[in-house]
Amino acid sequence: MPTNSSQPLYRMKADFFKTLGHPARIRVLELLSERDHAVSEMLPEVGIEPANLSQQLSILRRAGLVTARREGLSVSYALTSPKIADLLTIARGILTGVVAGQAELLAEQPESAALVGDSAG
């Protein structure tokens, strides 16, 4: 992600999170958190068309989150920093807490309140 020193840090952070705002890009980063991958290895794991994967990888590369290296006929991708993997781990922890909190709230609701939405009939 090109940095513009005249841009406030909060805007740069927003742009960074926008870059992460696609499920395929998150899945690619998760795979690369484990190890470097060739595009052909990622295709079945990400579950999108090759042209779309190429586009998503290009976005991640322009943002400076991944690097590409040609190995014979294939291209292998790697994270530019282990901190990206740390960020994904932190996000997972936050989401786990949020989901647990939501489940707790649902469990605390009286059953009659939960049934109100079901009584349309």
User: pTM of the prediction?
Assistant: 0.78
In which band, very low, low, confident or very high, does the pLDDT at 111 lie, cut at 50, 70 and 90? low
- In what helix (H) or strand (E) does residue 121 lie, and over which residues does it extend? none
pLDDT at 112: 54
* Residue closest to 33 by CA, chosen among 87, 109, 114: 87
Assess whether pLDDT exceeds 60 at residue 2.
Answer: no
The answer, yes or no, to whether residue 5 has pLDDT greater than 80, is: no
Percent of the chain with pLDDT over 70: 87
Q: Which of 12, 43, 28 is nearest to 84 (CA)?
A: 28
SS3 assignment, position 10: helix
Percent of the chain with pLDDT over 90: 71
Half-sphere exposure of 90 (CA within 13 A, CB side): 6
Structure tokens at 42: 């990622």
Beta carbons within 10 angstroms of residue 119's beta carbon: 7
Residues whose CB is less than 8 angstroms from the CB of residue 24 and which lie 6 or more positions away in sequence, other chains included: 46, 48, 52, 53, 56
Look at residue 12 in the predicted model and tell me its pLDDT: 93
Q: How far is the C-alpha of 77 from the C-alpha of 30, rounded, in Å?
A: 12
Please, is 25 exposed, middle or buried when counting C-beta atoms within 10 Å of its C-beta (0-12, 13-18, 19+)?
A: buried
Give the domain 9-80 fold: Arc Repressor Mutant, subunit A (1.10.10)
Give dist(CA 45, CA 19) in Å, integer. Answer: 20
Judge contact between 23 and 56, C-beta under 8 A.
no
